[in-house]
Amino acid sequence: KVFEALQVMSCFGVKVDQDVLSILSGSDQFDELISSLGYAIQEGMIEKRNETTYGFAHDTIQQAVYEYLPEACMKEFHFKIGMQLVRALRGFVTPESLQCISITFLAIDQMNRACDGTDPNRLDTRIKNTLASLNLKAAERAIDLADASSALSHVRFGLQFVGDTGWSLCYEICLRLHEAACLANYLNSSPDEVLKHFEEIINHARKFEDKIKANCIMIKSSASGNIQGAMNSAFIILNQLGESFPSVATPDDIQNAIASIREFHCDDPKEKIINSPELTDTKKLWSLKLMDHIAPYLHMMSSKLMILISARMLKISFQHGFAPESA
């Protein structure tokens, strides 16, 4: 029991929080985990580093324990630990709490290690969908932190779990995984991979709205090599979103654009604008996002079109609500 407890702990690395061990000890499989680690502390193999953390006395002890069992047996340990942590997630009242987020990432890490290089079809569909969803959440969080490498790893596992039937059986998760793949590969400066996942979305998306995010990412990705082509694509998408622009802006177009926003109180105090209604119309929101994406390029290419874009963004914001891009 003591050596099994050490093996469980070694699956987390050189240290692990007591809260995690307490979750595991609540199952029949690991019910003697805490008491067994107490014996390991007495033998000097484990240290109680503070009130909340257990750690191996030396890295080599963790390595020796972890490598003792054959790979298949260690994967089984990861699987049992991961499943127990996944079950524990259902008991959290506030999913956005730091503890829940920490347990989520630990659960994903354990399950990904367990399933890496194995056939995910040994899992039932409900579990696979749960693991795909958790990997999606981890990928999106990694993207928010600009950690493209971690995001791509989670996307790979997520797509592995949804499998070949993902588009038909768990469409929303599959769509968002490919969107995350597009964005992570864009951050990773891998335009060919962006294109691959973009085409996957275009070929399987059920409606135009589901293609917008991928189109925005593809426009940003392609702009580095073909600005004019990217801008042409952007204006085609904007037209489909209901925001049409002339191919060449004339002085009359500029005067009309400026006149169209004079009725709005653009000089209102900042506090009043901040407290204005939030933009909720999906098409208008994506129009703002796309215009915000292309604005820096238009600033270099066409100051007249830039004026039209700026005026339209103001008009949408005052008429339909404000978004971060309104600034």
Helix locations, 188-226, DSSP H = 191-204, 212-223
Six-digit token string for 226: 């073909």
Beta bridge partners, 16, equal 54
- Phi (first) and psi of residue 47, to 5 degrees: -125, 145
Torsion sign (Cα): 153, 158, 164, 166: negative
Beta bridge partners, 15, equal 55
pLDDT per residue, tens digit, the chain (327 aa), is 888 899 999 999 999 998 999 999 888 888 888 888 888 999 899 998 888 899 999 999 999 999 988 888 889 999 999 999 998 888 786 777 888 888 999 999 999 999 887 777 778 888 899 999 999 999 999 999 999 999 999 999 999 999 888 999 999 999 999 999 999 999 999 999 999 999 999 999 999 999 999 999 999 999 888 888 999 999 999 999 999 999 888 889 999 888 888 776 555 555 655 667 888 898 999 999 999 988 888 888 877 888 899 899 988 988 888 888 876
Give dist(CA 56, CA 39) in Å, integer.
13
Give dist(CA 187, CA 318) in Å, integer.
32
For residue 201, count other CB atoms closer than 10 A to its CB: 22
For 93-117, letters b (16+ CB in 10 Å) and e give eeeeeeebeebbbbbbbbbbbbbee
Instruction: Note whether 170 and 132 are within 8 A (CB).
Output: yes
Q: What is the CA radius of gyration of the chain?
A: 26
Whole-model pTM: value is: 0.83
Torsion sign (Cα): 206, 207, 209, 215: positive
Report pLDDT for 51: 80
